[in-house]
Structure 1
Amino acid sequence: MSGVHNSANDVDVDLGRLFSSLAANWFRILVVSLVITGLALVFAWLATPRYMGETRLLIETRESVFTRPDTNNTSDTSPIFDEEGVTSQVEVIGSTDILKRVAQKLNLASLPEFDETADMSMIGRIMVMAGLKSDPNEIPPEERVLKAFREKLTVYRVEKSRVIVIGFSSEDPKLAAEVPNVLADTYLAMQRDAKSQSNADATDWLEPEIADLRTRVKEAESKVAAFRSKSDLLVGQNNSVLATQQLSELSTELARVRANRAAAQANAEGVRAALRSGTSLDTLPEVLSSGLIQRLRERQVQLKADIADLSTTLLDGHPRIRALRSQLADLDGQIRNETEKVLKGLETEAKTSSFRENELVASLNTLKAESARAGEEEVELRALEREAAAQRELLESYLTRYREATSRKERNYLPVDARIFSRAIVPSEPYFPKTVPIVGAAFAASLLIMAIVTLLQELFSGRAMRPAPGARPQPIEQVSMPEPQAEPAPAAQPTEARKPVAPARARPRVERKIAKPSSLGEITVEMAAEKLIAGGASRAIFVSPEGDEAAAAAVMVAREVSDAGLRVLLLDLTSHGAASLPMLERASYPGITDLLALEAQFSEVIHGDLYSDCHVIPLGTVDPELAMRHADRLPIIMNSLTTAYDVVVVECGPADAEGIRRLVSDGTEILVSVIQPDDKAIAETAADLAAGGYDKLTLVSPSGHVPPASPQPDRSAA
């Protein structure tokens, strides 16, 4: 295929000759620099010196709690100290009214410095006549003074403070100090006048308002007194209306009477039932509580005891026993009679309670009507009282403010919310021009500019160019480029989210011997790499049942895939970091344990392989047990690495199916490293992985693989 020859590829810049041009033209550079420096010196010498004076104001409240009658209500008197408030004061200081007062007080219009027409240069007059500049005579003198005043005035707020700086530059040092001081005094006087006017306006407004409020308060209180006397609302205990209080007491008494009636009726019914059934009356508390019945019962017990004693010596027909039995029968009749009397008393008590209950219910109904009427009147009364109280509070507030405003007006006490804490003094040295800095800057800048001009002249002239090493001048027609050899493209292409693959550094190619597959079915490192590339796998999980020595297979496969031009990262999850040790200069690098423990970031744990373009994340420096407490972050880390790299190779060491479950996702290949095919651990691991659902295993043997001849110590981390 024919190509186009680019002559730019056959020349190079001779840096030695390029910079030697500075030495060859040193005299011209020095002369031009000295001329420019001399002009700067003349300018600094002839320039009119200017002086700067500064006055500093502090925006703060000058009011105190001792001079404010109402210390609780400070919302109307406290100044605004936020950024917007201080910036507003800066604009007030530079306002036209204040500048006019200062200009009139200092008679600035009579100074040539403030009148452009008094000292116009010849060049300025020519520009005015040519129409290139407006004629200052057409502007009123007052506007010319204000324009010159603003050009020389600087007012700004110190950042993150309430300090305002007033600066003024002038040819006269005394005027440079006098103007900012007079401007600050004028600002304070203007603020004081504004407060005085506001105070007078408040006094004029409060006088008729107070008179009107006094009339309204008097009328409101009169309405309250008249309504209270008309409605006859008497207040009892607990600040409640007397009818409501009586209703509450009557309700309590009614409940007590009803309880007594119910108790009396229940007791009477119990006594009546006992008399009808003929049961023993000793179980009735009302009967036992009677004193007479108690004495009769005692007499009855005594007679029974006497009969029992005489029965031991006398027969039942003996006259004495018969007499005692007759007395005992009389006692039973007396007890029954007394019980009937108790029953009549209980019935009488129940009737009395019922009569009392009816009377209380009637009184209660009457009080309910009175209480309802009193409640309605009380609502209206409270409304009148609230209106009177509101009018009274407003009157007291207005009286307080009126007295405050009147006292301030009489005593002329109106503190301004600003004070001058630093007045301008007459400057002894001008701030412009500074001869030494101007001359030094002119000399350094002229040297630099002349050096750049000299280098550009030498470069564009072609004298600083030389032929490129190994370049031979050939005609364009005879130069051709060889046909590129077609290479098989890998099936797994990087996604759009991944970064483009960086070109690998040139390194000597090493011839490798390819070992054939053994009888057990394991494949070589080269074949495993080709399988990962052709299959489009995004993850390769290596399990090494034979220990750390078998971890070399994962390292070799990662390097092989990296040599094919893909972005590859090896993640070392072995217990002792066996996979990453041959890839790094030392073992103490931050790694996956630091990343899991949130003590490092991705950029700190990804390192470059000494022998290839492969990247590696070592074991790390954090305790693995502490890091595994955050093992739930491992799938997130794997997803991030899979997005950034074409293939992520993970060396797990002697792991089982449950141990690699967090690492497996779509596009994952499971590989088993084999050194001794007859090792029992290989068969056990393969069976465990198959039982865990990973039956498609690939056995990889590192035998026959020739490692690179020399390391590349200049490779940097990712």
Structure 2
Amino acid sequence: MNSDQIAHGDVDVDLGRLFAAVRRKWPRILFASLIITGLVFALAYMATPQYRAQTRLLIETRESIYTRPQGVGDGDRPILDGEGVTSQVELITSTEILDTVARDLNLANRKEFSGSGGSLVSRILVMVGLKNAPVEGTDEEKVLRAFRERLTVYRVENSRVIVIEFSSEDPQLAAEVPNAVANAYVAMQSDAKLQSNTSATQWLEPEIEDLRERVKQAEARVAEYRAQSDLLLGQNNTVLATQQLSELSSELSRTRANRSAAAAQAASVRSALESGVAIESMPEVLASPLIQRLRERQVELNAQIADLSTTLLGNHPRIRALRSQLSDLDVQIRNEATKVLAGLEAEATRAERREEELQAELNRLKVTSARAEEEQVELRALEREAAAQRELLESYLTRYREAASRSDRNYLPADVRIFSRAITPSEPYFPKIVPITAAAFVASLLIMAVITLLQELFSGRAMRPSAVAPAPLPAAVPMRRAEPALDAVPAPERPSEPVLPTPEVADLPFPKPVSRTARYGGMDVEQASERLVTGGVTRALFISPEGDEAAAASVLVARDVADSGMRVLLLDLTSSGAASLPMLESVAYAGITNLLASEANFADVIHTDLFSECHIIPVGTADPQRAMRAADRLPIIIESLSAAYDVVIIECGPVDAQGIGRLMSSDTQVLVSMIDPEAGELAAETAEELRESGIATPILVSPTGGSKPPAPPGRDAA
């Protein structure tokens, strides 16, 4: 089948006829919608009203600073994380709590929980298969199943708040059930704490008794070992032997210091006596009271001698007597100094003997202290064991007293608080008759309208022949003689006489002889744009054999495709920039030559049309010869543009099939621009050459009616 036959077989959807069918059948659509709406209204009106109420819980620690166990601070309080709160949600929906609430509220005697009967809507849904039939089971299982269906428990996101929600036919029951579930949960929490506290008390009692016995035994072992080891304690809780050793060491040090001082003083006095120096000035000698008195007498005698020497001669008896007394005093002072020396030597001797005694005692205490230290190690181990047992006993006693006092006073607050109780709802949440009816009416209208449109489409009444091909000859009209098929129309080189219709059918459209331009699917701008939009074309090559003026067709097609909402780019490959001039203020913009010459990137060469959303890559300002050296990059650039845009339109100017060979791809449409559809022989010849070169579907495009595109304000048209 050739391209002409394919063009003749194309059909389009006639939207006017399609929506005319909806307008024509609107009474039937409205009637069906009213019937469906009435049925929905009846079902909603007969449905049993459902009421909903909710209770909110807050998971928190209820202990205060006055009742908190000793040693537990604010940072030690157990605060549940997200997983813990979710676990509490599952605990609320446990069978134990639900069964307790069901028995307390006597839900088994209520119709909606017994599983018998049910609402009319439920029975209808079961009949049509939209709802499962009630499962048989025991009464308790039926009540719990119905209870779970109406109960909703969830955690508020990013919080420790739990919502208990319940729906029922009875508004009072809808409020009672969530409150009862919350109370049962709080009671279960308190019972769990009480049971834990009781278990701890029962465990602590025998442990405390055992610890008391172990503490008594440990302390007895400490006392017994201390008595056997003779580890008597002195001051500062130290062993007596160690304390004595310390005191004796201090005494020995003092004795050694005294002995050394006495020996030094005796040596000093002896040296003075042996050398014959005056000993009256020595501190050791002057310390003697007798020597001090003798020195005073000596001073008095010297004074008297000096006084008498002024009036008497040196041989005077009085002066000689005084000098004799002075000599006696010197002898007495020297004798007394000798006695002081003897006393110092005796003191040094005593200190030496005392030092020897203390050293012997010190050696004995060293041995005793070393043995005591060894025994002290074992004693400290026994004391540590006794202290550890004592501390553990005291800790257990404290905990036991706290647990016992909490059990006696029944103070075990649950870590949950009901901060919002359910109240009896006044309005049902289902059914909302007015919204349901309105939604049903709108939905039924839409559904019936869609069904009508589909019927028109499937019946073929909303289809019309494509605008590309000439109108076919009606088959139902009687013909005088058989008309030749469209494929049998001779070529323009060998025109044949057209067959005239009979007078009866002269007003019917007959196919005219196919002109040279119509043979290649001549289109206007709107038809060419529609072909690019609906044909899945991603690349369109425009050839303008009639010159730059014919390039206006590619500009108009690009703008029309852009107005349809698609992303379009026009690539101007003409030498004069005829395609980009109507779309930009001037030709002095960076373009494809700058991109090929590596003087710019994509962001620099892509510009926006002044009169549409179309993008344009102009010729550019780079050296053409330098740009042509990188012509091998052009297919790669076009592939990149095709990936970024829905349609890439390339204005090639007056080129032949060999010139566009590297720009072709599997989804490329070739279009030949012509100025006047009635005189497009050059364009038709170009289309024939393209077809002979292997391009099967070239299309001729011209502005509508052969008129030129309007020039932008302030400049000439392309």
TM-score with structure 1 setting the length? 0.55
| Alpha carbons 2:33, 2:448 under 8 Å: kept | no
Separation in 2, partners of 1:461, 1:48: 53
* Matched residue, 1:570: none
Shift of 1:18: 10
CA deviation string 1:693-717 (max 9, x = no partner): xxxxxxxxxxxxxxxxxxxxxxxxx
| Alpha carbons 2:33, 2:445 under 8 Å: kept | no
* Matched residue, 2:93: 94
CA, structure 1 residues 366+473, in 2 after alignment: closer, same or farther (shift >3 Å)?
closer
Separation in 2, partners of 1:96, 1:294: 115
Amino acid aligned to 2:229: S
Separation in 1, partners of 2:191, 2:531: 92
Q: Secondary structure at the match of 2:182?
A: helix
* Matched residue, 1:299: 297
Q: Which one of the candidate residues 240, 244, 247 is aligned to 1:246?
A: 244
CA, structure 1 residues 471+102, in 2 after alignment: closer, same or farther (shift >3 Å)?
closer
Q: Secondary structure at the match of 2:543?
A: coil
Shift of 1:487: 4.3
CA deviation string 1:335-382 (max 9, x = no partner): 322222222222222111111122222222222333333333344334
The residue correspondences of 1:390-539 to structure 2 (distance < 5 A) are 390-406=388-404, 414-438=412-436, 479-480=543-544, 487=593, 501-503=603-605
| Alpha carbons 1:53, 1:169 under 8 Å: kept | yes
Shift of 1:401: 4.1
Separation in 2, partners of 1:267, 1:500: 112
Amino acid aligned to 2:57: L
Separation in 2, partners of 1:255, 1:335: 35
The residue correspondences of 1:53-92 to structure 2 (distance < 5 A) are 53-62=53-62, 71-72=70-71, 80-92=79-91
CA, structure 1 residues 451+501, in 2 after alignment: closer, same or farther (shift >3 Å)?
farther
Higher-Rg member (1/2): 2
Amino acid aligned to 2:354: R
Amino acid aligned to 2:112: E
| Alpha carbons 1:117, 1:137 under 8 Å: kept | no
Separation in 2, partners of 1:176, 1:278: 129
CA, structure 1 residues 445+240, in 2 after alignment: closer, same or farther (shift >3 Å)?
farther
The residue correspondences of 1:164-179 to structure 2 (distance < 5 A) are 164-179=162-177
Between 358-367 and 394-403, the greater mean CA deviation after superposition: 394-403
Shift of 1:256: 1.7
The residue correspondences of 1:635-650 to structure 2 (distance < 5 A) are none
Shift of 1:262: 1.6
Q: Secondary structure at the match of 1:432?
A: coil
| Alpha carbons 2:595, 2:602 under 8 Å: kept | no
Q: Which one of the candidate residues 340, 346, 349 is aligned to 2:347?
A: 349
Separation in 1, partners of 2:371, 2:467: 116
Alignment of 1:337 with 2:401, yes or no, is: no
Amino acid aligned to 1:183: V
* Matched residue, 1:512: none
Structure 2, unaligned stretches of length 5 or more? 1-13, 469-522, 533-539, 546-571, 576-591, 611-621, 624-718
* Matched residue, 2:184: 186
Separation in 2, partners of 1:282, 1:362: 40
CA, structure 1 residues 362+23, in 2 after alignment: closer, same or farther (shift >3 Å)?
farther
Separation in 2, partners of 1:454, 1:319: 177
Amino-acid identity (%) = 60
Q: Which one of the candidate residues 252, 258, 261 is aligned to 2:259?
A: 261
Q: Which one of the candidate residues 116, 121, 124 is aligned to 2:123?
A: 121
Shift of 1:38: 6.4
Separation in 2, partners of 1:263, 1:63: 76
* Matched residue, 1:648: none
Between 478-487 and 347-356, the greater mean CA deviation after superposition: 478-487
Separation in 1, partners of 2:300, 2:448: 150
Separation in 2, partners of 1:474, 1:63: 78
CA deviation string 1:659-702 (max 9, x = no partner): xxxxxxxxxxxxxxxxxxxxxxxxxxxxxxxxxxxxxxxxxxxx
Separation in 1, partners of 2:116, 2:463: 51
| Alpha carbons 2:22, 2:449 under 8 Å: kept | no
CA, structure 1 residues 322+76, in 2 after alignment: closer, same or farther (shift >3 Å)?
closer
* Matched residue, 2:283: 285
* Matched residue, 1:662: none
CA, structure 1 residues 436+26, in 2 after alignment: closer, same or farther (shift >3 Å)?
farther
* Matched residue, 1:52: 52
Shift of 1:326: 3.7
Separation in 2, partners of 1:303, 1:454: 163
* Matched residue, 1:197: 195
CA, structure 1 residues 455+308, in 2 after alignment: closer, same or farther (shift >3 Å)?
farther
Separation in 1, partners of 2:304, 2:172: 141
| Alpha carbons 2:126, 2:133 under 8 Å: kept | no
Shift of 1:105: 4.2
Separation in 2, partners of 1:397, 1:141: 52
Amino acid aligned to 2:327: A
* Matched residue, 1:227: 225
Q: Secondary structure at the match of 1:338?
A: helix
Separation in 1, partners of 2:541, 2:193: 93
CA deviation string 1:153-191 (max 9, x = no partner): 111234455432211112232332232222223223333
Amino acid aligned to 1:207: E
CA deviation string 1:2-35 (max 9, x = no partner): xxxxxxxxxxxxxxx999x999988989976975
Separation in 2, partners of 1:200, 1:473: 86
| Alpha carbons 1:40, 1:442 under 8 Å: kept | yes
Separation in 2, partners of 1:463, 1:479: 24
* Matched residue, 2:704: none
CA deviation string 1:432-453 (max 9, x = no partner): 2334444566678889999999
Separation in 2, partners of 1:72, 1:197: 22
CA, structure 1 residues 122+157, in 2 after alignment: closer, same or farther (shift >3 Å)?
closer
CA deviation string 1:110-148 (max 9, x = no partner): 555346675463663575xxxx99775466665554343
Amino acid aligned to 1:290: S
Separation in 1, partners of 2:86, 2:152: 14
Q: Secondary structure at the match of 1:429?
A: coil
| Alpha carbons 1:152, 1:168 under 8 Å: kept | yes
Separation in 2, partners of 1:60, 1:162: 8
Shift of 1:268: 2.0
* Matched residue, 1:562: none
Separation in 2, partners of 1:307, 1:279: 23
CA, structure 1 residues 467+230, in 2 after alignment: closer, same or farther (shift >3 Å)?
farther
Q: Secondary structure at the match of 1:154?
A: strand
Separation in 1, partners of 2:544, 2:419: 84
Shift of 1:427: 1.8
| Alpha carbons 1:22, 1:454 under 8 Å: kept | no
Separation in 2, partners of 1:477, 1:430: 67
Q: Secondary structure at the match of 1:121?
A: helix
| Alpha carbons 2:125, 2:131 under 8 Å: kept | no
Separation in 2, partners of 1:285, 1:464: 147
| Alpha carbons 1:22, 1:451 under 8 Å: kept | no
Structure 1, unaligned stretches of length 5 or more? 1-16, 509-528, 531-718
Amino acid aligned to 2:603: V
* Matched residue, 1:236: 234
* Matched residue, 1:579: none
The residue correspondences of 1:546-557 to structure 2 (distance < 5 A) are none
